[in-house]
Every structure is written in structure tokens, then in C-alpha cells.
Amino acid sequence: MKIAEQFIDGDGPNTFHIKHTFDAQAALDQAAALRSAEATHMGESRLVAEVPMWLVEMWMKEAGVAHNDNAARQELLTRKLQSGEFSKFRVWEGSY
């Protein structure tokens, strides 16, 4: 969830930067609730994780992955969610 937006003067007279501040606690709480309720099965599909879109976009930007490159995005999400740093976003603990 976005919690702040700040405009910062740039280097020149006609430039500025926008600093966005986000809080992931809502997504972490939702993932924990879904995990505890064991709400991971949806027919033949599995709910693997609850990741906010702003975080996915940040990961893609850091990795240089284009928005239309679905295979690279899937690989990036898999790698990030299997790391210990972002495992709290996972709902389903199985392998995928």
C-alpha cells in the first residue's frame, strides 16, 4: 500500500523526482491469514503467494525484466519467493 509520495527538486530548473513510499505489511498480514486458514487450493490451481504489484514492479526494474517478458517475470518471482528474504509473502509452501 502506498503511504507517501514526495516531490524532490532535480538537478535542473525544470526537473524533479518523485519518491514513492510503500508499506508491505497489509500483504504480509493477508498472506499469513491465508496460510493459517489453509486457503491455498482453488480447484486444480494453487495460491502460491500474495505479493503487492509495486513490489513485483520494483523487482522487475532491478533485474531489467520487461513487462511483456512473462517467462523472465515468472523466473524472477520464483527466485525471489524461494529466497528466505521474501518467503513471508508465500501462502503455499509446496514446490512449484
Contact 54, 22 (CB under 8 A): yes
89: nearest Cα among 23, 36, 47, 32: 32
pLDDT band at 72 (very low <50, low <70, confident <90, very high): very high
The larger pLDDT score, comparing residue 53 to residue 42, is at 53
Quote the pTM value: 0.69
d(CA 93, CA 96): 9
pLDDT band at 2 (very low <50, low <70, confident <90, very high): low
SS (H, E, C) 28-61: HHHHHHHHHCCCCEECCEECCECCCHHHHHHHHH
Question: What integer best gives the mean pLDDT of the chain?
Answer: 84
Q: Where are the domains of the chain?
A: 2-89
